[in-house]
């Protein structure tokens, strides 16, 4: 069945446009410019027209780290689709084949982020997964204490690729590029929820940390962001991903119990 541009391409097009706006300048990511998306007039499907890039394999990981950090530091603007500096995105999109709700928060504070990630990310995936163990662990032991993970950090809206793994990273004429996004505005640390299959080594992290230093509690929060993607993988593929998600949530509970 033919799918409309709104269903098929609008989320990707708006995500790429935002990433393009937030990657301007010499050291930015090479993001393709979107020219048009829409439906065929005969009702026979939809299309997305964007700049052609001659993609090559991953090249300079230090440059990639610096370029991703530059995108994360870009100010939310109307041109980038976030005129009010909030968390979320201007439409729901998908993470893989899973719906990803992106309703805007009321503001851009750390508490706004905590509530957004609690409800629109982990809560949403748990509802889809239907795993009673994970749901009880989250609702009883983690969600009520989630603010504790953020006591020493100020979260600001950063534009995220949202699904950053090795299959979505390449280069164009030696410059780093990332594509196939699940874009939204969130805590920059949430970008690393897929790092378990992204192959980020010392060179990448050196480049990233030259621009954005590691915040206190980064490693303690990481299982939170990993859990979102582990749950999503379970919802997409089933199998052992639910064990990984349980492990992440158990790690969070143990940390919070020590606080």
CA gap 80, 78 in Å, rounded: 5
Identify the segments of the chain with pLDDT beneath 70.
Answer: 1-2
Phi, psi dihedral angles at 178 (to 5 degrees): -130, 150
Query: pTM here?
Result: 0.95
The beta-strand segments (E) located in 71-126 are: 93-95, 98-100
C-alpha dist (Å) from residue 159 to 20, 163, 171, 174: 11, 12, 20, 23
Write the pLDDT tens digit of every residue in 68-86.
Answer: 999 999 999 999 999 999 9
The pLDDT tens digits of the residues spanning 147-201 come to: 999 998 999 999 999 999 999 999 999 999 999 999 999 999 999 999 999 999 9
Which sequence positions are flagged as catalytic? 163
Predicted local distance difference test score (pLDDT) of residue 248 = 98
């Amino acid at each position: 069945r033919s799918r409309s541009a709104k269903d098929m391409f609008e989320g990707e097009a708006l995500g790429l446009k935002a990433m393009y706006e937030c990657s301007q300048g010499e050291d930015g990511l090479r993001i393709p410019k979107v020219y048009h998306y829409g439906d065929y007039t005969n009702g026979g499907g939809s299309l997305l027209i964007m700049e052609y890039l001659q993609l090559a394999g991953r090249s300079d990981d230090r440059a990639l780290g610096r370029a991703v950090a530059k995108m994360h530091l870009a100010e939310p603007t109307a041109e980038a689709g976030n005129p009010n500096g909030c968390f979320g995105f201007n439409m729901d999109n998908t993470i893989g084949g899973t719906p990803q709700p992106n309703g805007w928060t009321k503001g851009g504070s750390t508490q706004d982020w905590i509530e957004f990630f609690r409800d629109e990310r982990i809560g949403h995936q748990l509802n889809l997964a239907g795993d009673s163990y994970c749901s009880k662990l989250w609702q009883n032991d983690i969600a009520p204490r989630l603010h504790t993970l953020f006591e020493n950090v100020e979260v600001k809206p950063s534009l995220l690729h949202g699904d950053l793994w090795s299959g979505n990273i390449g280069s164009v004429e030696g410059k780093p590029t990332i594509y196939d996004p699940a874009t939204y505005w969130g805590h920059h640390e949430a970008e690393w929820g897929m790092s378990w299959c992204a192959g980020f080594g010392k060179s990448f992290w050196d480049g990233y940390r030259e621009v954005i230093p590691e915040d206190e509690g980064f490693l303690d929060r990481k299982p939170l962001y990993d859990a979102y993607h582990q749950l999503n993988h379970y919802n997409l593929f089933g199998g052992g991903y639910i064990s990984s998600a349980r492990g992440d949530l158990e790690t969070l509970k143990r940390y919070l119990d020590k606080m």
